Amino acid sequence: MCASKVPEGRERGWIIPIGGAEEKENSPQILRRFVQLAGGNDADIVVIPTASQMRDTGARYERIFGELGAGRVSALDFDTRRDCDETSRISRLQQATGVFFTGGNQLRLSTLLGGTPVAKALRALNAAGVPVAGTSAGAAFISEHMIAFGDEGSTPIAGSVRLAAGLGLTNRFIIDQHFRQRDRLGRLLTALAYNPFAVGIGLDEDTAAFIAPDNTVHVEGSGAITVVDAAEVQFSSMDSVSEGRPVCLLGVKLHILTQGATFNLHTRQADAGSLVRPKA
């Protein structure tokens, strides 16, 4: 699948993957910024809690976004693929000025929503300017290539990661979440060793990548984003190493970005931004 074409004279909406465990009560800066991008007091947000199997997930985010000032918030769950064909649900989704995927199991999202009219509508909404955010499993699902599951650890291991098709808002990056907390550098490197085209984005908890329409990543939150750029890899042993063995990768670039730093997904250039102190 691929992203929908941006209509002439418009620009794509923000794409906002969140690393999970975002602050929801005391200082919810990530969720507050999402509400602002969705329209602030005029925001009409649809929450999709399909990844979660906890009954109160949708209602909890309805309350949170309402308290942050959103004008209207509705949880829209999809328990079966048949649900994704219902015109009333699709109509409600098409009214949204912002869409939010909760955490849970990303394979529930890909197996229930993949290839349905709902997935098509979501791609069209984002192409028309509607911001789409997702936390944890919801973050993993946003891009075309999704890490379905994989082993933890810092070393890339052949066969340790399984990829699946995601929503397809973009093909420029692969997301991994809870990154530092669950030691996931190795599995993101493994995913990129299969195909170095995409940029790897490892999101710490309570940290988000606010990806602007111009494909610039802006960091928001209390943690860091690990950017893995494999475009200039000089050698990879992925094609010859046995399953379960370490993979040799030469020439990988790695950036650690905190709030204020940016990364351009088109030029693959990192910038310390506001972190650079002015000269005295």
In tens, the pLDDT along 11-20 reads 999 999 999 9
CB 167 within 8 A of CB 189: no
- Quick one: what percent of the chain has pLDDT higher than 90? 93
Give the domain ranges of the chain: 15-273
Cα–Cα dist 272/256, whole Å: 10
Torsion sign across C-alpha atoms 237, 241, 243, 247: negative
Check residue 278 and give its pLDDT: 59
CB 139 within 8 A of CB 51: no
Check residue 1 and give its pLDDT: 62
> What are the residue numbers of the active site?
136, 178, 205
Check residue 273 and give its pLDDT: 86
Do the bridges between strand 173-176 and strand 161-165 make them parallel or antiparallel, or are there none, so unpaired? unpaired
Check residue 268 and give its pLDDT: 97
Statement: residue 86 has pLDDT above 60: yes
Can you identify the CATH homologous superfamily of domain 15-273? Answer: Class I glutamine amidotransferase (GATase) domain (3.40.50.880)
Give the length of the chain. 280
CB 179 within 8 A of CB 226: yes
Statement: residue 275 has pLDDT above 90: no
Stretch 160-183: mean pLDDT: 97
Residue 163's pLDDT band (cuts 50, 70, 90)? very high
In tens, the pLDDT along 50-84 reads 999 899 999 999 999 999 999 999 999 999 999 99
Residue 168's closest CA among 221, 110, 253, 216?
A: 110
Check residue 10 and give its pLDDT: 87
* Coil, strand or helix at 84: helix
Structure tokens at 209: 């990548």
Residue 277's pLDDT band (cuts 50, 70, 90)? low
In tens, the pLDDT along 209-225 reads 999 999 999 999 999 99
CB 12 within 8 A of CB 131: no
Structure tokens at 235: 């050698």
Cα–Cα dist 153/182, whole Å: 8
* Coil, strand or helix at 47: strand
User: 130 has which bridge partners?
Assistant: none
Structure tokens at 166: 């995601």
For residues 107, 109, 112, 116, the Cα torsion angle rounded to the nearest 10 degrees is: -130
Check residue 280 and give its pLDDT: 53
Please tell me the pTM assigned to this model: 0.97
